[in-house]
Amino acid sequence: MGSLIGVVITVVALLGGFAAMGGHVGVLMQPWEYVIIVGTAVGTFIMANPWKTVVDTGVACMQAVTGAVPGERYYLDLLGALHALMRELRGKGRNEVEAHIDDPSSSEIFKAFPHVLGDPPVLQFICDYVRLMIMGNARTHEIEALMDEEIHTIVKGKLTPYHSLVTVSEALPALGIVAAVLGVIKAMGALDQSPKLLGGFIGAALVGTFAGIFLSYGVISPFALKVKMTREKRCRPYIIIKQTLLAFMNGAMPQIAVEHGRKMIASNERPSIDVVENETIAGPKPAAAEAEPKAARA
């Protein structure tokens, strides 16, 4: 919603200021100039990126617009699932713990935390490293190094749409110049026409330059930053899992290890320590009792 409000304010300020200076807003209505710029930008974007990246960019844009980032309920489920797993690791045998990570969809632990069960990449990340822990051969620093490398790879992949949008943003001013040059070519072919008609052709050509610069710095570039922030927030659960499991491997009690993970949540989104203790000690609340908005669960 914030992105849409920002675009509306930007456009209203732009057109309102232009009209207040005595400009004719109708002059800016040059649809074919916009077709040239936007169409060329979309075409070069598709040409420069694998189809998977093109699709993922569309998904990332929707996530940025809807604000689809983990919320408090997601974090509580994540910390609760980790706490339950660590208690199992401390109090039960290897075979009993393996049953949870080999088939998490049938695990009573993960069934109790639907937000984690409904996030397959995060669920797989948890299961992979718990499996390494119960093997007993890997050292803490080795698992930490492996986690760091995997998280780096995950973040790099998640930010591919951001880098693609930044590239488009950087190209838009030049594409605006291309549209303007085409407009000038059209105007040069009408030198024998009246000055009024010729002036309209030249004005239409300059709209191309304006549109390229405005779309670059006023729309695509700030929106790309919103995509980046959204994707970084969606990668935060991996950091939480890492810190929690490493603290546990270093000898911390499950409740203390969970606190290590809780500290990795941004302060304005972090649930209080009392809330986390109630969730992990008393167990998760029924899903119907605390439903989270769909955008935050995505």
Res 238 pLDDT > 80: yes
Q: At which residue do the structure tokens 């930053």 appear?
A: 225
Looking at residue 295, what is its pLDDT?
40
Residue-range definition of the domain harbouring residue 54: 30-285
pLDDT digits (tens, 9 = 90+) for 17-55: 888 888 888 888 888 888 999 999 999 999 999 999 999
Average pLDDT, stretch 187-201?
A: 76
Give residue 284's pLDDT band: very low, low, confident or very high (50, 70, 90).
low
pLDDT at 5: 85
pLDDT at 292: 44
User: Is residue 290 in a domain?
Assistant: no
**Can you give the pLDDT at residue 265?**
93
Top pLDDT among 189 and 142 is at: 142
How is the chain classified by DSSP, letter by letter?
-HHHHHHHHHHHHHHHHHHHTT--GGGG--HHHHHHHHHHHHHHHHHHS-HHHHHHHHHHHHHHHHT----HHHHHHHHHHHHHHHHHHHHS-HHHHHHHHHSGGG-HHHHT-HHHHT-HHHHHHHHHHHHHHHH--S-HHHHHHHHHHHHHHHHHHHTHHHHHHHHHHHHHHHHHHHHHHHHHHHHHTTTTS-HHHHHHHHHHHHHHHHHHHHIIIIIIHHHHHHHHHHHHHHHHHHHHHHHHHHHHHTT--HHHHHHHHHTTS-TTTPPPHHHHHHHHHH-PPPTTTS---HHHH-
Distance between first and last Cα of the chain? 16
Phi, psi of 119 (to 5 degrees): -120, 85
Task: Write the secondary structure of 23-79 as one string of H (helix), E (strand) and C (coil).
Answer: CCHHHHCCHHHHHHHHHHHHHHHHHHCCHHHHHHHHHHHHHHHHCCCCCHHHHHHHH
Residue 8 domain flag: no
pLDDT for the residue numbered 283: 58
Per-residue model confidence (pLDDT) at position 129: 92
Q: Comparing C-alpha atoms, which of 176, 87, 270 is closest to residue 96?
A: 87
Pick the residue with more confidence: 11 or 259?
259
Where b means 16+ CB within 10 Å and e means fewer, 182-213 reads ebbeebeeeeeeeeeeeebbeebbbbbbbbbe
When pLDDT is averaged across residues 237-250 and rounded to a whole number, the result is 94
Asked if the model's pLDDT at residue 286 lies above 50, the reply is: no
pLDDT at 282: 64
Rounded Cα distance between 80 and 72, Å, is 12
Question: Is position 280 within any domain?
Answer: yes
Which has the minimum average pLDDT: 27-31, 176-180, 242-246? 27-31
Q: Which two tokens stand for residue 283?
A: 């167990």
- Mean pLDDT, all residues of the chain: 87
Which distant-in-sequence residues (6+ apart) come within 8 Å of 229 by Cβ?
64
pLDDT digits (tens, 9 = 90+) for 75-100: 999 999 999 999 988 877 777 888 88
More confident residue, 284 or 56: 56
Kindly state whether residue 16 falls inside one of the protein's structural domains.
no
What amino acid is encoded at 279 in this protein? E
The residues, any chain, with a CB within 8 Å of residue 294's CB and separated by 6 or more, are none
Tell me what percent of the residues of the chain surpass a pLDDT of 70: 93
Give Cα 116 to chain centroid, integer Å.
18
The model's pTM is 0.84
Q: Is 95 a member of any domain?
A: yes
pLDDT per residue as tens digits for the range 104-161:
888 888 999 999 999 999 999 999 999 988 886 778 888 999 999 999 999 999 999 9
The answer, yes or no, to whether residue 263 has pLDDT greater than 70, is yes
Q: Is residue 274 one of the residues assigned to a domain? A: yes
Q: Which has more pLDDT, 296 or 254?
A: 254
pLDDT recorded at residue 198 = 76
> Does the residue 24 lie in any domain?
no
Domain count for the chain: 1
Of 123, 115, 118, give the one whose Cα is nearest residue 290: 115
Q: Let me know if residue 179 belongs to a domain.
A: yes
